[in-house]
Amino acid sequence: MNSSTTNPSPGDAVQSAWEAAYQRFETPEAEIRKFVVRLRELGADSWSRDAQVVEIFCGRGNGLHALAQLGFTRLEGVDYSPALLARYTGPAVCTVADCRALPFPDASRDILVVQGGLHHLLELPSDLNRSLDEVVRVLRPGGRFMVVEPWLTPFLRLVHGIAFFPPTRAVWGKLDALATMIEHERTTYEQWLGQPSVVLESLKSRFQVERCSMSWGKLRFVGRKAGA
């Protein structure tokens, strides 16, 4: 693991509590299976296996395992949590860094991926725009950016209703872990869910849209950097 920043994560205690709930929410195997399905749905089977792929906000690296299972070999990950990155044991080169300042040269990577990271940013739209500007900077012309993030669809409203209903929460560990994660990230989570047009405008103004859908509580977006 590389380390390129010295003081990456605000609120370490809150972060630890969130990380503990995140690890209870889903086993690594289940998350990797979920990521493989998502990557396929979003077209990864047609991407070159030689592509240089970076997963930003990669956490414990389950998205990197999914990419490796699909045959991608030139993999890198970035996250500002040394604790989560330390749990990754695969072939990707991982760097501790803030995704608002990516540790890569301009136009040096083919594909960037984020799965559930942008909604952790503290300030919208400024941090989102900084992160997306970094993605554009680092991608080669024609490079792809794949995003999967929570989205306030009717399904997600239903999930919230069940997860915060004390009797279901008491008997369903996964829902309790989800509710705990949301409680610890409530400010950024609600800010993200509450500004859908800001998020879409930030994405669509920077990338040529290849895919964009919102269903089952998720935004799924694939865009390309202009200039291939």
- The two counts, helices (H) then strands (E), for the chain are 10, 8
Q: 101 or 171, CB closer to ligand SAM?
A: 101
In contact, 207 and 145? CB cutoff 8 Å: yes
Distance in Å, CB of 7 to ligand SAM, minimum: 12
Q: 24 or 208, CB closer to ligand SAM?
A: 24
For residue 196, give the amino acid letter. Answer: P
Distance in Å, CB of 227 to ligand SAM, minimum: 26
Q: 152 or 208, CB closer to ligand SAM?
A: 152
Residues written for the chain: 228
- Which letter does DSSP use for residue 225 in this model? -
Q: Which residue is nearest to ligand SAM (CB)?
A: 59
Q: List residues near ligand SAM by CB under 6 A.
A: 57-63, 79-81, 84, 98-100, 115-117, 120
d(CA 150, CA 76): 23
Strands (DSSP E) found in 37-101: 52-56, 74-79, 93-96
Q: 47 or 88, CB closer to ligand SAM?
A: 88
Pairing assessment for the beta strands 74-79 and 218-224 based on DSSP bridges? unpaired
Q: 28 or 208, CB closer to ligand SAM?
A: 28
Distance in Å, CB of 160 to ligand SAM, minimum: 17
Distance in Å, CB of 120 to ligand SAM, minimum: 4
In contact, 86 and 79? CB cutoff 8 Å: no
